[in-house]
Structure 1
Amino acid sequence: MSTSQGGDPFSVADAQIHSVTDNGAWCWFQDERAIIDTAGNRALIGAVASRGGKDGDRRGGDIDLHVVDLGSGAAQTVVLHAGLESDDHDDPALWLRSDGRFLAVYSRHKTDELTRWRISEPGDPTTWGPEQSFDWVGDLFGSREAAEAAGGGRGVTYQNLHQLDGVLYCFVRAINDDPCYLVSRDEGSTWQFGGRLLHREKIGYVNGYARYASGARFGGFGQGPDDRIDVIITEHHPRDFANSIWHGYLAGGSLHRADGTVVSALGRGLEDPTPRAEDLTRVFASGSTWGGSVMTHAWTTDLRRFPDGTLVAILTARADDAVGTGTARPAWDAPADEFEPIAHRFFRGVLRPGEDKWEVRELADAGPQLMPHEEDYTGLASIDPDDPDALWLSAVTDPRDGRALDRHEIFHGRTADGGESWTWTPVTERSEVDNFRPIAIPGDPSRQILTWYRGGMKASQDYDAEVLLRVAGRG
């Protein structure tokens, strides 16, 4: 892998940066977390306010939707659910319906059994109808005893909205902490249990971490048809298992490997035999060697599908890990000098149309873990939804020259040779606080619209962060 510092058509001079909120953040296993409302020239950004942030005693746990005017930068905050839970895992997934109404779906972080949703007024993301919910115990089993007998009753987490053959899917980590899904035939007004996608016996905390991608993104305004949904997934949590990464896709009523081989029918009930992640196509192998380092404990970061069928994925992995899975987790507030830093790398994978083998290349240094008790948290990266050769990442090492930085900074990267080399342009520089978890917001191909948050994180439940929005033309 080589890098360059010049020649990137990334637009800098006309960029506008707006402060969206002084208390907000998000996890990365929900989508879409932010979308562009082109009709209203607005960005819609979901976030969760923290008890550790500004006015946290009053706002902590609020599930917020920030509606930002892309012309003036003025932001209005709509509280979808006040005080639900101070946890960035509760971030809402957003969808634009064909009738102009917006849909927001969210849940707590394994502390109850409800998938919650609200629907806006037509064309108005600031006015919302009442909250409704699907109960993964009561609606699905009728009793907690029956749910627990089937591996349920452990709480649900994460919501991901994608359309397939005119049916809206909501993928949720639910029964047995497996990837399951709800389906809606009325664009999210009502939901029913659709099936369990994959299943396995648990090791440690939870089962696989999935990222999903489809052509008809955020309400049919995406690029491409709604004929398939792709998924990349791990076996377990990386702190409990030296994960590889696997890929499959949903189409024509079945789950497939990358080469089109049918793995199983969709709509698998909880008592039906269900495939494992390893039954899919392997994208990245734990234990593989890259640049003389052995990579393990891979984790899924981002996935996008483009109009011609190209899939692009971003992954992370530990480099030459000496910690493994048999160690006690440090306390969340352990001093930094009391835990061993674990080196991580970013990787980029591409699956081209008509091919069944992923092309994976090392992308950049992802740095040490962000906090002592989360060995695999990094600054993360986001694929440009309108350019498969571009992305943004957060790193504490400058990808241009390998220089150590004082803080996590955001960089824009672009490749002109399939990922062999990259041109990097800083988005933030010499920051006084860290910059985390960029999201390249889909919905407006004419502009590059990026959101991220900056500040400090003690835990997913305790952070002090400001959300920013950057709007720029395409060079």
Structure 2
Amino acid sequence: MKRILLSLVMTMAAIVSAMASHTVTHEGAWCWFADPRAIHYENASGSINASYIGYIDVHGNVKATQIDFRNNRRTEVLIRSVFQPDDHNNPTFIVLPDERVMIFYTRHTDEPKIWYRVSVKPGDITQLGEEKFISTKNNTTYPSPFILSDDPNHIYLCWRGINWHPTMARITMPDANDNVTVDFGPKQIVQSTGARPYAKYHSNGKDKIYLTYTTGHPDNEMPNWLYFNVVDINHGNGPILKDIKGNTLQQVADGVFRVNKSEAYLNQYPFTVVDHTPGVRNWVWQIALDQDANPVIAYTHIDNAKTTHAYHYGRWTGSEWRDTWVQLGGHAFHQNWNRTERCYSGGMALDPENINTLYLSIPTKEGAYNKEGVYEIWKYNVADNGKVESSEQLTRNSDKNNMRPYLLPGSKNSALRLAWMHGDYYYWMVNKHYPKGYPTSIVADYNLPEEKVDLGNGLVTQAKGCKKFSVAATFHQEKDGKRTSDATLFASDQLTVGITTDNYIFVNMGKGSKAKSVKSGNLFATADNWAFYSIGTSGDTHVTPITDAMLTTTYDGATLRVYRNEVLELYIPCKGLKLKNVRCGNLSTNLQQWSRALNQDEVGALSNKR
């Protein structure tokens, strides 16, 4: 009864203002275990001020949007095509000491590799280096990277790997060719009695990585305990696993630390357990640190029937974990909540810059919690004494659910702080049992830059030596995509753009000694056939040739860009190009030309008109 009254009081006291949401991408999703799935970075000199938001779409495209605040420009970038279409595979980011951005991504549980790409220039992911991978002996999921000042020459990478358990390795910084070396690990950190502990990680940026994890998947564990450990990197001399009091549990190099959910374990290791409430299926959402470097954890309690979720806020006081019941979260948020993944809460996010603030996805009707309502984003404040002191509904009257909110690390002074998923959600993977998968968008609390769209400006029937230009080609090929030779979209005196026999975009530019050829690292295809042939995470692949698309090439006098529909695929620095005598290729059905470089919003408008 007290909780119901508290909910009513908070609702009545809620501020009635609504937060506008703005679309980052119309096709994108993320899980909540691979982080940071988005970051903000700005340097002291002011030369970099940007946010990077990553996601994967239902076509198997791993993508990211960069918001460059210095130049007020938004760019959506293709990181990898034809990836396993699964929302567990969203990319994660880290900014290297030289300020280049490194992007990690993995398939979900069925490949022993961790993929990565590194930006060519500091703070700018519009041009990415060659795709690389780290080989592992075990399948991988959820990469979470850290750089710590006590060991500035390494990246500490955590993921779910060995025996489906929390795993870590130490890798060298990328060299001039973006290659890295694993010089410690991979090592399994802990061993649970559950089959799949789910872990979240955080660091203090100096010498410690914090991890909180469950006994296993809440579908399978009842009760499902919540644990907390600290990895001390030991000045790079080999990580040591400790409890929250600083007691050594295990040298990570020497083997795993074993946890279970027994009374005997609790008595022996009391400072490794956050929550062991009877009759509760715990799941974890995030860790952050308060101003005293004490950890705060956002987690959910799910009942035995998996029909009622409750949001909790746990804070270490220096002597104990203090639990705050914040609000009910309804049942699982998605369209198939009553028959699959019933432990998928709408989601929680802590504000790492203001640890008293958290954001929740709550089913709502008429400004109040309602288990059958549309999931809206709410902001809650929990006082230092553990009491809920205010709540505010941020999104209102939404046509579809809002879920999995996330605060961008480093965004304290940024206009863009909060992002989340919006839309329908049927399953975490596209396959023949759930062919729609996760057709969601990513939205944010900031009105992203929009450039002027004026497709009539500079439109010409035939370019005649233009030093700046754009060419849009409507692409078509037969369904199987098979050809015996390279085919062109268009050709001109100094520039040819086309598709190779093995389905990669190529660009040939210049003449004679200045001639240059560039080939995309991304297969010109999708993963759409997963919807017809795949049954799950079984290592399969179903490459689907693209039959129709818009490919747009722009040149601003210094950089040639090639867009696949609205997404940037190739960024090629070059000078001295001119567009003259453009001829239609054998893969294009229509060409349009401009005597200027189109911006990405114009490219998107072209693609939407197809």
Mapped to 1, the partners of 2:12 and 2:369 lie a distance apart of 16
Alignment of 1:263-302 (within 5 A): 263-268=249-254, 272=255, 274-276=257-259, 281-287=272-278, 295-302=279-286
Distance change >3 Å, CA 399–CA 195, structure 1 → 2: farther
Q: 1:425 matched to which residue of 2?
A: 392
The CA RMSD measured in Å over matched residues stands at 2.6
Amino acid paired to 1:227: D
Question: Is 1:21 matched up with 2:5?
Answer: no
Q: 1:92 matched to which residue of 2?
A: 91
Match of 1:196 among 187, 198, 216: 187
Distance change >3 Å, CA 11–CA 429, structure 1 → 2: closer
Match of 1:468 among 443, 448, 451: 443
Task: Write the deviation string for residues 340-399 of structure 1: whole angstroms up to 9, x where unpaired.
Answer: x611111110013xx142111111101112322102101111001100100111011479
Answer whether contact 1:264 1:275 (CA < 8 A) is retained. no
TM-score, normalised on structure 1?
Answer: 0.79
Answer whether contact 2:192 2:258 (CA < 8 A) is retained. no
Q: 2:602 matched to which residue of 1?
A: none
Between 1:250-259 and 1:386-395, the stretch displaced more is 250-259
Answer whether contact 1:19 1:469 (CA < 8 A) is retained. yes
Mapped to 2, the partners of 1:399 and 1:171 lie a distance apart of 42
Amino acid paired to 1:207: R
Mapped to 1, the partners of 2:192 and 2:220 lie a distance apart of 13
Match of 1:170 among 126, 146, 157: 157
Amino acid paired to 1:249: V
Mapped to 1, the partners of 2:345 and 2:156 lie a distance apart of 29
Mapped to 2, the partners of 1:117 and 1:84 lie a distance apart of 13
Quote the offset at 1:276 in angstroms: 2.9
Quote the offset at 1:300 in angstroms: 0.9
Quote the offset at 1:417 in angstroms: 4.8
Answer whether contact 2:37 2:91 (CA < 8 A) is retained. yes
Question: Is 1:239 matched up with 2:219?
Answer: yes
Answer whether contact 1:215 1:307 (CA < 8 A) is retained. no
Match of 2:230 among 249, 252, 266: 249
Answer whether contact 1:409 1:431 (CA < 8 A) is retained. yes
Amino acid paired to 1:78: V
Mapped to 2, the partners of 1:397 and 1:362 lie a distance apart of 18
Answer whether contact 1:178 1:196 (CA < 8 A) is retained. no
Mapped to 1, the partners of 2:359 and 2:273 lie a distance apart of 25
Question: Is 1:45 matched up with 2:53?
Answer: yes
Quote the offset at 1:459 in angstroms: 0.3
Task: Write the deviation string for residues 382-422 of structure 1: whole angstroms up to 9, x where unpaired.
Answer: 00110010011101147985444621100111133533123
Extract unaligned runs of 5+ from structure 2. Answer: 430-436, 448-610
Mapped to 1, the partners of 2:158 and 2:403 lie a distance apart of 25
Identical-pair percentage: 24
Q: 2:419 matched to which residue of 1?
A: 451
Q: Partner of 1:458: helix, strand, or coil?
A: coil
Distance change >3 Å, CA 398–CA 43, structure 1 → 2: farther
Mapped to 2, the partners of 1:421 and 1:434 lie a distance apart of 24
Mapped to 1, the partners of 2:22 and 2:346 lie a distance apart of 21
Q: 1:349 matched to which residue of 2?
A: 314
Q: 1:214 matched to which residue of 2?
A: 203
Q: 1:305 matched to which residue of 2?
A: 289
Mapped to 1, the partners of 2:389 and 2:366 lie a distance apart of 9
Q: Partner of 1:457: helix, strand, or coil?
A: coil
Extract unaligned runs of 5+ from structure 1. Answer: 51-59, 138-151, 217-225, 288-294, 323-340
Amino acid paired to 1:190: V
Q: 2:383 matched to which residue of 1?
A: 416
Greater RCO (CA < 8 Å, at least 6 residues apart)? 1
Q: Partner of 1:66: helix, strand, or coil?
A: strand
Q: Partner of 1:463: helix, strand, or coil?
A: coil
Alignment of 1:304-453 (within 5 A): 304-319=288-303, 321-322=304-305, 342-352=307-317, 355-370=318-333, 371=337, 372-397=339-364, 401-404=368-371, 406-447=373-414, 449-453=417-421
Answer whether contact 2:132 2:179 (CA < 8 A) is retained. no
Amino acid paired to 1:276: V
Task: Write the deviation string for residues 43-83 of structure 1: whole angstroms up to 9, x where unpaired.
Answer: 20010001xxxxxxxxx111111112458975321111111
Amino acid paired to 1:208: P
Q: 1:160 matched to which residue of 2?
A: 144
Question: Is 1:4 matched up with 2:3?
Answer: no
Answer whether contact 1:20 1:75 (CA < 8 A) is retained. no
Q: Partner of 1:190: helix, strand, or coil?
A: coil
Quote the offset at 1:6 in angstroms: 7.9
Answer whether contact 2:249 2:257 (CA < 8 A) is retained. no
Quote the offset at 1:259 in angstroms: 1.3
Distance change >3 Å, CA 311–CA 202, structure 1 → 2: closer
Mapped to 2, the partners of 1:196 and 1:399 lie a distance apart of 50
Mapped to 2, the partners of 1:68 and 1:124 lie a distance apart of 10
Match of 1:229 among 196, 209, 214: 209
Answer whether contact 2:302 2:310 (CA < 8 A) is retained. yes
Q: 2:567 matched to which residue of 1?
A: none
Quote the offset at 1:254 in angstroms: 1.1
Answer whether contact 1:366 1:378 (CA < 8 A) is retained. yes
Amino acid paired to 1:109: H
Mapped to 2, the partners of 1:443 and 1:103 lie a distance apart of 16
Mapped to 2, the partners of 1:93 and 1:115 lie a distance apart of 11
TM-score, normalised on structure 2?
Answer: 0.62
